[in-house]
């Protein structure tokens, strides 16, 4: 689409304007010389003589145009706000006014563009603001809907409780297996999913083994304690029995897991879960796995390129649910092409009735790396009504059934601007998810496509160290180079 920015406010960068655009124009690109899509956003933001900010936004789509304007003069925010907020407020309010006129709806998250609304809520809650004030901050300051504001505050409160007693120096460990049996149409991860690429697994595991050993040595050297382990991907259970037990052996023999609160192996695809792999995971102390249908409808699964049938999911779920894991998680996606509101509700009811202790409700997000496109597959309706209804229904249904939202994040280009939320019965939340999302603890990562996130709490500092994205690059790069940066980052002040 075409974007024109006249920004003399001294605040906000071009990326912010583009991100805002995606709230009403998901999936759009912003080529430097424009395009002939007929979609246009014209932004003007200024700081006035009295210090207030004013903005004018003109949006055009399909030959129709709408304008919005806002000035922050006299506006008193609910919480302490930086100068940047006032520029965002002027721009955001003007943008929503224009969008409401043009498209007839206001996005549920207002003009809040960040991916971690709960982190924002927690920030204020832990600084003494009460829940009602923080709720009103979302509603009044960012035009977030009442339902999303309440969800953010509720989730933030539970996260805060979960993190009580989680001491500095306790770290997470993430191990990446970026291989899958086939590629899902909506996937935007770097995960190898062909027979030829998956032939790289044995070499990858050799390399991963030495990375895990190096990481364990570093954790010992720093005097850290491992509090949560998460093997993710990809699909870790794409490994065969020997490979899986070899990996688990490496992890359990190199780390002291006596203080580990949870050990997760994200199994995911039902077509990779077998009774013998479940037995292996249990024997090494894995206490959480996931079995993800995304939907229980065969036609929707086939359209998404998933290799499994609903029956395969039921069989894998039954194995997992009766194997003695502390928690079995299940993921669903709202807004899948070919699915309906009723279809989503059937999937939700089914996984709840089957006895999963932890259910994550995602919203379809269409990214560049995915095979499907908003325009090509007609999956996107501008209002995203169906996906939004699905996640709102899931919120009510799961909470009525005794589950609580414990982590939440947003992504760009989600259908209906909706969010991803993890729900669990009390005590079955996944701590690792919260650590990652809230960036409150160091997480050491091993493997291609993973990111080590170092958190130096005393210094209030975060350092991210990314491993090469593709397994073939990972195999070619020198190992352990991150250690020098990590040592320098922590210094003597670990």
Site for ligand SF4 in 265-284 (CB under 6 A): 268-269
d(CA 263, CA 17): 41
Q: Which two tokens mark 199? A: 């032939």
**Is the CB of 187 or the CB of 486 nearer to ligand SF4?**
187
**Is the CB of 112 or the CB of 334 nearer to ligand SF4?**
334
Give the DSSP H or E segment for 4. Answer: strand 2-7
**Is the CB of 202 or the CB of 305 nearer to ligand SF4?**
305
Which one of the spans 24-32, 71-79, 82-90, 185-193 is the region binding ligand SF4 (CB under 6 A)?
185-193
d(CA 274, CA 272): 7
DSSP sequence for 125-143: HTTT--HHHHHHIIIIIH-
Cβ 268 to ligand SF4 shortest distance, Å: 5
Unique residue bearing structure tokens 């027979």 = 195
Q: Which two tokens mark 62? A: 């399909």
Would you give the binding string for ligand SF4 spanning residues 230-249, x where CB under 6 A is met? ---xxx--------------
Q: Tell me if 301 contacts ligand SF4 by CB under 6 A.
A: no
**Is the CB of 112 or the CB of 445 nearer to ligand SF4?**
445
**Is the CB of 207 or the CB of 306 nearer to ligand SF4?**
306
Cα Rg of the chain, angstroms: 23
**The total number of residues written for the chain in this structure:** 494
Which one of the spans 228-236, 279-287, 329-337, 448-456 is the region binding ligand SF4 (CB under 6 A)?
228-236
Give the DSSP H or E segment for 231. Answer: strand 225-233
Taking CB atoms, the residue at the shortest distance from ligand SF4 is 187
- How many CB atoms sit inside 10 A of residue 254's CB? 17
By CB under 6 A, how many residues form the interface with ligand SF4? 12
Residue 165 φ then ψ, to 5°: 80, -5
Pick from 17, 124, 189, 490 the residue near ligand SF4 by CB under 6 A. 189
Cβ 471 to ligand SF4 shortest distance, Å: 13
Pick from 58, 184, 265, 398 the residue near ligand SF4 by CB under 6 A. 184
Angle between helix axes 275-283 and 241-254 (nearest 10 degrees) is: 10
Angle between helix axes 431-438 and 117-125 (nearest 10 degrees) is: 80
Would you give the binding string for ligand SF4 spanning residues 153-182, x where CB under 6 A is met? ---------------------------x--
Q: Tell me if 187 contacts ligand SF4 by CB under 6 A.
A: yes
**Is the CB of 92 or the CB of 293 nearer to ligand SF4?**
293
Q: Tell me if 436 contacts ligand SF4 by CB under 6 A.
A: no
Q: Tell me if 191 contacts ligand SF4 by CB under 6 A.
A: yes
Q: Which residues contact 319 (CB under 8 A, 6 or more apart)?
A: 273, 274, 275, 278
Which one of the spans 88-96, 188-196, 321-329, 427-435 is the region binding ligand SF4 (CB under 6 A)?
188-196
3-state helix, strand, coil split of the chain in percent (to 5) is 40, 20, 35
- List the one residue out of 281, 360, 279, 286 whose CA is nearest residue 326: 286
Q: Tell me if 193 contacts ligand SF4 by CB under 6 A.
A: yes
Whether 403 contacts 13, CB under 8 Å: no
Which positions touch ligand SF4 (CB under 6 A)?
180, 183-184, 187, 189, 191, 193, 233-235, 268-269
């Amino acid at each position: 689409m075409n974007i024109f920015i006249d920004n003399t406010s001294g605040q906000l960068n071009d990326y912010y304007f583009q991100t805002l655009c995606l709230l009403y124009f998901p999936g759009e690109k912003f080529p430097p010389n424009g395009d002939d899509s007929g979609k246009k956003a014209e932004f003007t933001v200024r700081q006035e003589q009295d210090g207030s900010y004013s903005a004018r936004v003109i949006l055009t789509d399909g030959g129709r145009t709408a304008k919005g304007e806002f000035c922050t003069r006299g506006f008193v925010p609910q919480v302490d706000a930086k100068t940047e907020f006032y520029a965002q407020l002027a721009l955001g309010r003007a943008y929503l006014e224009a969008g409401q006129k043009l498209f007839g709806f206001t996005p549920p998250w207002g003009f809040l563009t960040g991916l971690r609304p709960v982190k924002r809520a927690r920030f204020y809650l832990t600084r003494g603001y009460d829940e009602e004030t923080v709720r009103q901050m979302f509603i009044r300051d960012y035009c977030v809907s009442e339902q999303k504001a309440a969800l953010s505050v509720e989730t933030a409160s539970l996260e805060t409780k979960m993190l009580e007693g989680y001491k500095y120096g306790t770290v997470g460990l993430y191990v990446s297996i970026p291989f899958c049996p086939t590629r899902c149409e909506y996937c935007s991860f770097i995960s190898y999913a062909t027979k030829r690429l998956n032939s790289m697994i044995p070499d990858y595991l050799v390399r991963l083994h030495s990375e895990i050993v190096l990481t364990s040595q570093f954790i010992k050297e720093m005097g850290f304690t491992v509090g949560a382990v998460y093997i993710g991907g990809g699909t870790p259970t794409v490994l065969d029995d020997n490979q899986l037990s070899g990996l688990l052996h490496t992890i359990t023999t190199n780390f002291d897991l006596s203080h580990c609160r949870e050990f997760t192996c994200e199994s995911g695809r039902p077509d990779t879960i077998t009774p013998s792999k479940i037995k292996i995971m249990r024997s090494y102390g894995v206490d959480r796995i996931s079995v993800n249908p995304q939907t229980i409808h065969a036609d929707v699964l086939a359209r998404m390129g998933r290799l499994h049938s609903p029956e395969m999911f039921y069989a894998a779920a039954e194995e997992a649910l009766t194997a003695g894991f502390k928690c079995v998680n299940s993921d669903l996606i709202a807004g899948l092409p070919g699915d309906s509101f009723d279809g989503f509700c059937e999937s939700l009811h089914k996984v709840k009735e089957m006895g999963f202790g932890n259910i994550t409700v995602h919203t379809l997000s269409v990214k560049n790396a995915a095979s499907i496109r908003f325009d090509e597959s007609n999956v996107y309706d501008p209002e995203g009504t169906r996906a939004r209804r699905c996640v709102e229904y899931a919120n009510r249904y799961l909470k009525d059934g005794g589950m609580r939202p414990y982590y939440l994040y947003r992504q760009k280009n989600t259908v209906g601007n909706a969010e991803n939320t993890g729900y669990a019965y009390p005590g079955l939340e996944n701590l690792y998810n919260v650590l990652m999302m809230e960036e409150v603890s160091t997480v050491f990562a091993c493997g291609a496509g993973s990111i080590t996130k170092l958190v130096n709490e005393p210094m209030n500092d975060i350092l991210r160290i990314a491993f090469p994205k593709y397994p073939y690059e990972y195999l070619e790069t020198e190992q352990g180079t991150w250690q020098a940066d990590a040592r320098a980052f922590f210094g003597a002040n670990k």
